[in-house]
């Protein structure tokens, strides 16, 4: 018996083999473009067809006794998954001391998929994994979205994020690192003028004060007079500010607000009364009148 033809089929593609000097039949075939991870058994079955000079054809495949396990081709993808940090973004400033970390990990279409157990978020020195406390995982196209909520309040100041992940074929994603700042401290606001409950006869009034914030300066200062925005207020390098106002007759309410970059704010309210009325003397009596020298006299005045 002489072998006249040998060919190999992988993923529906046949490749003819040739006999080499060692007496073996060999061929060079191209592996499928997609990973075998999603295939039954996680491999591509290989079929070998051998024909002899009598025209007898013998076929062998992954299910053949003894040789079947050798006819199973494992194919691995080479594209690494992608990690995308959603929030907080790098260098973000937040006043939430339980700031959730949201990120996504995706693999290519028809890839081996995300190895869920490989995904690790390190927040400062604490690790968060799928199935752990504070971790919520949802499906998205070609991957997963993770929302990791700190299990203890974060101190004011800088915090670091590091995220790692792999796909099921062992490709490692590029590590994503970021920092963000927690600021829960309200700015200091001191309104030096006008004094609260001031009564004045001058409509012109100057709002003055100082403000500062040690964590996320500079701050912005806004104010309303009787519910109306008074316009831009410039805060100097020292934190001092001033704004000319015009009071209305009667009660006036001034609300001053200092806001830092994280959105924390402090408000101070001042009530000022403008009274431009002029006192009038409408009646006067002196009794007795005339009066004796050095005598006591009674004076009664009516003033409106």
Q: Does residue 193 contact residue 173 with C-beta atoms inside 8 Å?
A: no
Calculate the average pLDDT of the chain. Answer: 95
Note whether 95 and 140 are same-domain residues: yes
Residue 86: inside a domain: yes
Task: Examine the domain organization and report whether 207 and 168 are in the same domain.
Answer: no
CATH number reported for the structural domain that contains residue 16 in this entry:
2.60.40
pLDDT tens digit string along 50-104? Answer: 999 999 999 999 999 999 999 999 999 999 999 999 999 999 999 999 999 999 9
pLDDT in tens, 182-199: 999 999 999 999 999 999
Residue 296, domain member (yes or no): no
Which distant-in-sequence residues (6+ apart) come within 8 Å of 237 by Cβ? none
Judge if 43 and 129 occupy the same domain: no
Instruction: With respect to residue 287, please indicate whether it lies within any of the assigned structural domains.
Output: no
Instruction: Answer yes or no: is 243 within a domain.
Output: yes
193 and 160 fall within a common domain: no
Final residue in a domain of this structure, among 32, 55, 73: 73
**At which of 182, 203, 219 does a domain end?**
182
Which CATH number goes with the domain that contains 163? 2.60.40.1220
In a domain, 88, yes or no: yes
The stretch 240-252 carries a mean pLDDT of: 97
Domain-embedded: residue 141? yes
Helix (H/G/I), strand (E/B), else coil: 64 = coil
- Domain boundary among the residues 159, 182, 205 is at 182
Query: What's the domain range around 9?
Result: 3-73
- Tell which residue, 166, 177, 139, has the closest CA to residue 80: 166
* 238 & 270 share domain: yes
Residue 266: CATH number of its domain = 2.60.40.10
How many folded domains does the chain comprise?
A: 3
Both 199 and 269 in a single domain? yes
Q: Are strands 120-123 and 126-129 parallel, antiparallel or unpaired?
A: antiparallel
Asked if the structure places residue 174 within a domain, the reply is yes
- Does pLDDT of 215 surpass 90? no
The size of the chain, in residues, is: 304
In a domain, 170, yes or no: yes
């Amino acid at each position: 018996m002489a072998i006249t033809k040998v060919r190999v089929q992988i993923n529906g593609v046949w490749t003819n083999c040739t006999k080499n000097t060692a007496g073996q039949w060999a061929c060079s075939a191209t592996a499928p473009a997609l990973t075998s991870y999603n295939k039954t058994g996680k491999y591509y079955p290989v079929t070998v067809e051998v024909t002899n000079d009598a025209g007898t054809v013998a076929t062998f495949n992954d299910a053949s006794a003894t040789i079947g396990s050798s006819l199973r081709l494992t194919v691995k993808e080479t594209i690494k998954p992608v990690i995308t940090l959603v929030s907080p973004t790098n260098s973000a400033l937040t006043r939430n001391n339980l700031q959730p970390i949201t990120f996504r990990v995706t693999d290519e279409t028809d890839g081996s998929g995300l190895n869920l157990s490989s995904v690790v978020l390190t927040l400062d020195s604490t690790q968060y994994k799928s199935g752990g406390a504070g971790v919520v995982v949802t499906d998205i196209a070609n991957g997963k979205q993770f929302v990791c909520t700190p299990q203890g309040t974060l101190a004011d100041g800088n915090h670091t994020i590091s995220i790692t992940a792999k796909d099921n074929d062992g490709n490692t994603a590029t590590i994503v690192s970021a920092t963000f700042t927690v600021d829960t401290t309200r700015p200091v606001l001191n309104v030096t003028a006008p004094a609260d409950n001031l009564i004045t006869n001058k409509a012109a009034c100057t709002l003055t004060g100082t403000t500062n914030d040690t964590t996320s300066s500079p701050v912005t200062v806004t104010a309303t007079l009787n519910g109306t925005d008074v316009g831009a207020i410039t805060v100097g390098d020292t934190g001092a500010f001033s704004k000319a106002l015009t009071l209305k007759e009667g009660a006036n309410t001034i609300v001053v607000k200092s806001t830092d970059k994280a959105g924390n704010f402090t408000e101070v309210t001042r009530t000022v009364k403008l009274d431009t009325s002029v006192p009038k003397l409408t009646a006067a009596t002196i009794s007795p009148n005339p009066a004796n020298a050095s005598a006591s006299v009674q004076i009664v005045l009516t003033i409106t």
